A = this chain, B = another copy of it.
Amino acid sequence: MDKIIGDAPGRFVDVPPRSSAKDVARLAGVSTATVSRALNLPQQVDPETLERVRHAIDKLRYVPHGAARALRSRRSQMVGAVVPSVDYALYARTTSALQAVLDAAGYAMVLAEHHYDLAQEVRVTEQLVSHGVDAFVFVGVYHDPALFALLASHGKPYVLTWGVDPMRRHPTVGFDNRAATFALTRYLIELGHRHFGLLSAPVAGNDRSTERGAGMRAALAQAGLELDEADARYGPIDLRAAANLMHEILARRPRPTAVVGTNDIFAVGGMLACREAGVRIPGDLSITGVDNTDLGATQTPPLTSIRTPVVEVGRAAGEEVIARLEGRPGESSRTLPFEIVIRGSTAPPRR
C-alpha cells in the first residue's frame, strides 16, 4: 500500500518515488534495455518476455519519464500550436481538431498564444523550443523572419495554416482568404451594389485580414469600382469595437449600401450598430462575414458568410506535421475549398 503524505488537498509534499524502468526490469527479471524495447520496439522482444514486462509495468503502475526519454532520444513527442488567440472561436475549432489528431498519434499538444503580435510569436515559440517541443503548427502565412531562422537553426519541422503561401516556400495547409472575399464581393456587385464599406482587423502582420481585404478590392477593381478608404475601418476582433466602427461607417454620406466584414465578428458587430441606428438589414444595407460561425448564422436576419474549412485545416495540419516528424515527405501545400453561404443579410440595394 502506497503511503501518501499530503499537507493539504491538491498538494503533496512527500510522495513515494515513482517507479522507474529499473524497477520494472528487476521485477520482470530482465535488463532495462529490454524494458525499453518492450515499450518502443515490442516486435523485437520475445512474446513471453514481453508479457512478463507488461505485467510488471501494470503492477508497478510504471509511467515512463518523458524528460529522460526526450533527453536521450532527442524527441519529446510534443507538438506546439502557436495561435493568435483561442478566444476567437474559429481558431479554437482548428486547435481542437489538431489536438484530436495529435492525441490519437500519441503526441501532446502545447498551446501558446501571441495575440496578433509577431514579435511575441517569436518569443513564445522560443519558449516552446526550450521546453523541447518537436514540431510546430502556426496560424497564418506571414511571420517574422526571425521565426523561420529559429525553426531552421533548431531543425524543427512546422506547418503553416489558415492561408496559402503564394511562393510555396513553406508547407501550408489552408484556404484562399483572398478568393473568399472576392467571391462575396462579386456576389454583392451582382446584386447591384456599387458603394462598399469594409470592417477589418488591423492588417499589420495579419495575412488573413490582409488577404480578405485584398480579395474585396480585387473584385471591386474587376468591376471598375474602388473602395474609398474613408469607408474602411480597422479595429480589434471584438463585437463592441466592431459596432462602434460601424457607427462611423453609417454616418458617412453617401452611405455604403454593402459592408464586408473580414470575419463574422465584424459583420455581427456591424449588425448590432445597424439595430442601434435603426438601419434595416438587408433593406437599407447588406452585410457579409467570413468563417460562417454560429454567431452569424443565428442572427436576425442570418448572416451571409463563407464557410471556411477550419476543422479540416486542423486535422490536415496534424497529419502533415506528424508525417514530417516521422520522416514521411508530406505534401508541400494543401489548399482546401471554401463555400459561400448566402443568407438573409444580403439583398439588392434599395433603388
Contacts and interface: CB of A to CB of B under 8 A. Distances in A.
Interface of A: 2, 4, 6, 8-16, 18, 61, 63-68, 70-71, 76-78, 81, 85-87, 89, 92-93, 95-96, 99-100, 103, 106, 108-113, 124, 126-132, 152-159, 168-171, 239, 268, 271-272, 275, 294-295, 298-300, 324, 329-330, 332
A6 B128 CA distance: 21
Given A9-B170, A15-B155, A295-B298, A111 B131 contact: no
Contacts of A106: 127
Contacts of A131: 66, 76-78, 108
A128 B67 CA distance: 12
Nearest to A18: B154
B65 A132 contact: yes
Given A11-B171, A108-B128, 5 more contacts: A2-B153, A18-B153, A67-B68, A67-B71, A272-B298
- Which one of A65, A110, A275, A298 has the highest number of Cβ atoms from chain B below 10 Å of its Cβ? A298
A231 to B, nearest CB: 24
Closest 10 CB pairs of A and B: A15-B155, A67-B70, A10-B171, A300-B300, A12-B155, A66-B132, A67-B71, A66-B131, A92-B92, A111-B111
15 contacts: A4-B153, A10-B159, A10-B324, A11-B324, A12-B156, A12-B157, A61-B153, A65-B132, A66-B70, A66-B76, A77-B131, A87-B96, A99-B113, A100-B113, A103-B127
